[in-house]
Structure 1
Amino acid sequence: MKILVMGAGAVGGYFGARLQAAGEDVTLVARGAHLEAIRKNGIRLESGLGNLTQPIAATDTPADAGPADIVMFLVKLYDTAEAVEAIRPVVGAGTVVIPFQNGISARGALTEAFGVARVGGGVAYIGAEVEAPGVVRHSSSFARVVFGPFAATARAPLAALSAAFGRSGAEHALVDDINRQIWEKFIFLSAFSAITCLTRLPIGPVLADPASRELFRAAMAETLAVAMLHEPSVDPGIVEARMEMLSAPGSAGMKSSMLFDLERGRRLEVAELSGKVVALGADAGIPTPVHRAAFAALSPWRSGNPLAG
């Protein structure tokens, strides 16, 4: 099948390469030095699940790829509006766009642009970073995507994508409760991003210290309270389940993608993560003091390092 990966950073690069290696027709949308390295040398994965150097089509102009069966939408949350316009030429009558982003806001923008039948939902679970142009280092013991339809989503392209992931060997699931999955990821990711950025630490040392451990737990609990108003099927035990997951061997070195961005002086998604929790909490009368503090403390970094020239 024909797959466009809109935003081929670490996550898009990893799964795009696995799909291409399995024989799918994949085009990565990237830019700058990363794009040039992929064009010249292919994309290289350094992974405990198997290293790979994969020749693959890459462009900075989605229209060059032609109509797609699936668009895996992976741009940063603050780039959503621009990316929606960029993919218009590739979204046809049989296309489904699946956002695999960190937050919860892309669905609305994509549905407004392309209609309810053309938009599904997805979440990705992986620790990875672009270590050098054209090189993705996969640092977690897991790499999994979960995706599925909303009520009116065209289902055939999703079934075809599930089959493609099956051929690739990548762990995946096609589910009927994707909205719950998205909210449960947001509960974890909003807190994980906030607390690793505030402490400038991977999750291991955060959980090893009693005070920061409880701060992380409290941040997840705030997002859980907000999430249950919007998706009542969310598992109320999700906070403890994620605490247990992160205590497993091999998880201590995990960092959020937002911390990688902070360390490199890049823009942060804090307005779309902690800021979104604060806004939804305010609308519902739910206190969100941890996320409010995180948003305030990280706000000067929203556009990158404020001390950079």
Structure 2
Amino acid sequence: MRILIVGAGSTGGFFGAKLAKAGRDVTFLVRSQRLSQLQQHGLCIKSPAGDIEIQPQLITSTQIQGPFDIVLVAVKAYALDSALRDMDAAVGPDTVILPLLNGMRHMDVIAEKYGADRLLGCACKVATSLDEEGRIVQTGTFNDIAYGELDGSESERIALVHEFMRDAGFDAKTSKTILRDMWEKWTLLAAMGTINCLMRGSIGDVASVKGGREFATRAIDEVVSIVHVVGRALSAPFLTEAHRLLTLEGSPQTSSMYRDLIAGRGIEADQIIGDLLERATAKGMEAPLLALVYTNLLVYQAQLDK
């Protein structure tokens, strides 16, 4: 099988480099700036589990010569529309599209363009970022990816995708509850993003001050109450662990959106916070903390765009 990874940033580059290192047929679809950087320096991962450096197969949108078996979409959510245009020639009748984006809006966008039958659900967990030299830096050791049919069924293509993804240096698994997995990930990202971005600190920073744990608990409960109405029922073990992780004193954990904000980069405010707030509003639900952090992030984004 051949896989096209759309985007060679911190997430797509990480999983793609691992797959290529394991001998899979991996091609990265990139824009001109990243193309030049990777041609000159290669694709490098700095990780506690061991560094990786490869010379990746690279193409731009005009160089796509036909469909791939798998197209893994690994761009920031605000870049999705342009990514779909770039990858269009790579999607054929039997292509499986595997999106690694945050939130759920991207599922509707991709399904509208290519049909829901091309889509698999996917949820990945990895803490990575790009340094100033374009290297992928992994913090922590977790690197999990789960995928499955949206209806929870087993299928031949899931078996083929799993055979391609497994034993490649990260934890890959199939899931019969992939939509719930995705909603749980969104819940965690929205709650953590609210806590980090509104308080401008890590989970531990917030938990250590007077009123911090109470604020974090309110943020979690607000997000969870919305998801239960507009999304999927969340599992009891997930809820217990989410409350523990997001109120843990001494924790250095931060959301990727907060790390982007601190670094002065573009953020996924619309996809992680705004879309959830919009769904809540459509159901007549009040979400004061989400509304507050969303306005806060829009001010930041407007200043960045000047």
TM-score (norm 2): 0.90
Deviation at residue 158 of structure 1 after TM alignment: 3.0
Q: Matches of residues 166-205 of structure 1 in structure 2 within 5 Å?
A: 166-205=166-205
Deviation at residue 159 of structure 1 after TM alignment: 2.1
Amino acid paired to 1:9 = G
Alpha-carbon separation, structure 2, partners of 1:189 and 1:182: 11
Deviation per CA, 1:139-197: give whole Å up to 9, x if none.
Answer: 02311111111139994343223222222131121111111011000100012122222
Amino acid paired to 2:5 = V
More strand by share: 1
Contact 1:262 1:268 in 2 (8 A): yes
Amino acid paired to 1:29 = L
Q: From the superposition, tell whether residues 237 and 84 of structure 1 become closer, same or farther in structure 2 (CA, over 3 Å).
A: same
Establish whether residue 220 from structure 1 lines up as the match of residue 220 from structure 2: yes
Contact 2:152 2:177 in 1 (8 A): no
Q: From the superposition, tell whether residues 3 and 56 of structure 1 become closer, same or farther in structure 2 (CA, over 3 Å).
A: same
Alpha-carbon separation, structure 2, partners of 1:205 and 1:116: 42
Q: Helix, strand or coil: the match of 1:48?
A: coil
Q: From the superposition, tell whether residues 177 and 62 of structure 1 become closer, same or farther in structure 2 (CA, over 3 Å).
A: farther
Q: Root-mean-square deviation (CA), in Å? A: 2.5
Q: From the superposition, tell whether residues 6 and 81 of structure 1 become closer, same or farther in structure 2 (CA, over 3 Å).
A: same
Aligned to 1:59: 59
How many pairs align?
Answer: 306
Alpha-carbon separation, structure 1, partners of 2:209 and 2:281: 30
Aligned to 2:293: 294
Deviation at residue 32 of structure 1 after TM alignment: 4.9
Aligned to 2:256: 257
Unaligned runs of 5+ in 2: none
Unaligned runs of 5+ in 1: none
Alpha-carbon separation, structure 1, partners of 2:102 and 2:86: 20
Alpha-carbon separation, structure 2, partners of 1:122 and 1:304: 33
Alpha-carbon separation, structure 2, partners of 1:153 and 1:39: 41
TM-score (norm 1): 0.89
Alpha-carbon separation, structure 2, partners of 1:266 and 1:220: 25
Alpha-carbon separation, structure 2, partners of 1:93 and 1:152: 22
Amino acid paired to 1:151 = D
Give the stretch that moved more between structures: 14-23 or 138-147.
138-147
Alpha-carbon separation, structure 2, partners of 1:125 and 1:48: 16
Give the stretch that moved more between structures: 77-86 or 42-51.
77-86
Amino acid paired to 2:144 = R
Give the stretch that moved more between structures: 73-82 or 54-63.
54-63
Q: From the superposition, tell whether residues 177 and 284 of structure 1 become closer, same or farther in structure 2 (CA, over 3 Å).
A: same
Deviation at residue 246 of structure 1 after TM alignment: 5.6
Deviation at residue 50 of structure 1 after TM alignment: 1.8
Q: From the superposition, tell whether residues 248 and 290 of structure 1 become closer, same or farther in structure 2 (CA, over 3 Å).
A: closer
Q: From the superposition, tell whether residues 57 and 211 of structure 1 become closer, same or farther in structure 2 (CA, over 3 Å).
A: farther
Q: From the superposition, tell whether residues 30 and 203 of structure 1 become closer, same or farther in structure 2 (CA, over 3 Å).
A: farther
Give the stretch that moved more between structures: 157-166 or 269-278.
157-166
Q: From the superposition, tell whether residues 60 and 153 of structure 1 become closer, same or farther in structure 2 (CA, over 3 Å).
A: farther
Deviation at residue 299 of structure 1 after TM alignment: 1.0
Alpha-carbon separation, structure 1, partners of 2:248 and 2:163: 30
